[in-house]
Amino acid sequence: MASSMSRSLSTYCCTVTCFDADGQIDDAAMRAHFGRIADAGVGLYVGSPSPGEGTTLTPPELVHLLALAVETAGGRVPVRAMGVEPRHTGEMKAFVALAAATKVDAVQIYSLDIGHAVKPAAEELETYFRDVLNSCPLPAVLSSHAFVGYVVPVDMIERLAGDYKNLIGVNISTPDTLYLSEAISRLTPRLEIHVGGPMHTVTALALGGNGYLSTESNIAPRLCQEAIDHFRAGRVEQAFESYGAIMALMRAVNTMPTASVRRVKAAMRIVGMAGTGLRKPFAPLREEELIGLRSELAEVARRYSRPELIKR
């Protein structure tokens, strides 16, 4: 396993899309949000399904959003296009072409979600990845996400890594730590490995992975970067303290079973950020839910001395 000092460690924010009260992209709020995250040193993944509401965005809106991210944060932190799970190969190839036109640093290639809870056969999945990678002019990161009903076989990723120099990483989102362990063991250092969500960050870093993605960095980007900075410097106690605060924030924002974007944007509004409008079908939290969330955030702020979680 590579030590933290000999490998690149990083964290990325799966960014929200800042909408105004009418559901239109709020450019000023979006620039401020991208800038706040980049100021903390956190990379950007833009246009995600959740919390980015990517399924509600039109292609011109995606181009505009990615261009804003590049304009605001490009050259300071990596800016990557995330997109949403495609139904077919053509959908992902169109997204890759769109992303390439905006000069982002890399693009994520999601696993196929062909609908009706159907899982693609292994040969279908590999053909899909190869078709997309063959047409991809950008550095690419595969997504292996259990939410589509399966994870990408490690041996398949290994073959793709051997055949495509533009494949630079994998984002792994699964509670299966044995799968994660095997992937890190077999794919690093050829590919960078990030885990989706902070839940398995410590495990991933201990095994030789490169970091994590989060939605929590929309709310507290400096906190999310601090954990990586401490791990990189070998400050284990401080790293665990920061990690504990991130997980406490995650618990606070997940106190109700609903779409993450509703809770994340509500938390952003509570701490004083703009651009927290939602697009249908998503609806704002009810007042009693906001009161509960405000109380949870205040408790995390008190326990971990994080004043940024209290309204400015």
Predicted confidence at residue 312, as pLDDT, reads: 64
Q: Is the CB of residue 280 less than 8 Å from the CB of residue 21?
A: no
Q: Which H, E and C letters describe the chain, residue by residue? A: CCCHHHCCCEEEEECCCCECCCCCECHHHHHHHHHHHHHCCCEEEECCCCCCCHHHCCHHHHHHHHHHHHHHHCCCCCEEECCCCCCCHHHHHHHHHHHHHCCCCEEEECCCCCCCCCCCCHHHHHHHHHHHHHCCCCCEEEEEEHHHCCCCCHHHHHHHHHHCCCEEEEEEECCCHHHHHHHHHHHCCCCEEEEECHHHHHHHHHHCCCEEEECHHHCCHHHHHHHHHHHHHCCHHHHHHHHHHHHHHHHHHCCCCCCHHHHHHHHHHHCCCCCECCCCCCCCCCHHHHHHHHHHHHHHHHHHCCHHHCCC
pLDDT in tens, 178-203: 999 999 999 999 999 999 999 999 99
Least confident of 108-112, 231-235, 308-312: 308-312
pLDDT in tens, 69-91: 999 999 999 999 999 999 999 99
What percent of the chain clears pLDDT 70, i.e. is strictly above it? 98
| Stretch 152-159: mean pLDDT | 98
pTM listed for this prediction: 0.96
**Is the predicted pLDDT of residue 258 greater than 80, yes or no?**
no
Predicted confidence at residue 259, as pLDDT, reads: 82
CA distance 231 to 57: 36
Distance between alpha carbon 295 and the CA centroid of its chain, in Å? 26
**Is the predicted pLDDT of residue 1 greater than 70, yes or no?**
no
To which residue do tokens 């490995």 refer?
193
What percent of the chain clears pLDDT 90, i.e. is strictly above it? 93
Which tokens hold the place of 219? Answer: 């709310």
pLDDT in tens, 95-127: 999 999 999 999 999 999 999 989 999 999 999
Average pLDDT, the chain: 95
| Stretch 287-307: mean pLDDT | 95
Q: Which residues have C-beta within 8 Å of that of residue 300, sequence separation ≥ 6? A: 245, 248, 249, 252, 306, 309
Which tokens hold the place of 173? Answer: 């989102």
**Is the predicted pLDDT of residue 2 greater than 90, yes or no?**
no
Which carries the bigger pLDDT value, residue 266 or residue 255?
A: 266
Largest interatomic CA distance in the chain = 53
